[in-house]
A and B are shown apart, each in its own frame.
Chain A
Amino acid sequence: MKKRYWRCFVCNDIHCGIAPPELCPTCKVLNGYVEISAEEARRILGGGPGVSLTADEFRAAIERFTAGHEFQVNPDREKVDLLVKGIFENERNHGLKYCPCRLRCKDWDEDLGIVCPCNFTIHETYKGVPDGECWCGLFVRRK
């Protein structure tokens, strides 16, 4: 199903999905989302807080992301350094944090599948593999 955009009529949170959440995660209003166009969503987000992540902040974000999961950020610091460098190069040169170990095919929806972190839990290098890791090796199964 095609994803669409939704805006909370109370706090202007933007949601992208096949349906809006019942409860706004920011202001907690119930049934507050109304459908909007992609252009309207872009304008609202474009005028929003200009949040950017440094490489260190990205590292902290993926550490928080892995907490409580069966996987963790690879303890191999050298490998992670190279990967994070590539992820940021790709964001600067190609627009999104694409995986440095795969190439985008220039299909927008398909290429979203290689934005880091990707859904690596379905990768053949991770799923059912005791010492599994994502394709690039940024995330490894926690021991």
Chain B
Amino acid sequence: MANLFMFHGRECPHCKRMMPLVEKLEQETGVRFDKREVWHEEKNADLMRSYRPIIAAKCGGQLKVPAFLNPDANDAVCGEMDYEKLKDWALKQS
């Protein structure tokens, strides 16, 4: 099973909208995301920053949230997306 992260912000509307889709995906497919809030938990923020080369390369040069990351595959995708796109990305990682 791939080691996947979801970096999110508590007051980010895109993250709030994506969270139920992530949970649905986890229930339906068995994929698991390690969910890390980055604006109120500094250790999570530092973890996200440590992956900046991967995330920024895929997300317009910035550390955008929500960010979905597979550090082992150097792959990431950011922002709000529909369920099928998230599912395709997550299943491609496994």
Contacts and interface: CB of A to CB of B under 8 A. Distances in A.
A137 to B, nearest CB: 6
A129 B11 CA distance: 25
Contact of A137 (B13, B39, B49, B64): B13
Contacts of A105: 49, 52, 63
A129 B65 CA distance: 20
B12 A114 contact: no
Contacts of A89: 10-11, 39-40
B64 A102 contact: yes
B13 A103 contact: no
A124 B52 CA distance: 19
Nearest to A90: B39
A103 B48 contact: yes
A136 B63 contact: no
A101 B14 contact: yes
A103 B11 contact: no
A100 B52 contact: no
B13 A82 contact: yes
B65 to A, nearest CB: 6
A135 B11 contact: no
A103 B38 contact: yes
Contacts of A28: none
Contacts of B13: 79, 82-83, 101, 136-137
A101 B9 contact: yes
A104 B63 CA distance: 7
Contact of A100 (B7, B39, B45): B39
Contacts of B48: 103
A69 interface: no
Interface of B: 7, 9-16, 38-40, 45, 48-49, 52, 60, 62-65, 79
Interface of A: 79, 82-83, 85-87, 89-90, 93-94, 100-106, 114, 123-124, 135-137
The 10 closest A-B pairs by CB, nearest first: A86-B11, A103-B63, A100-B11, A101-B12, A79-B13, A100-B12, A100-B9, A103-B38, A102-B64, A85-B11
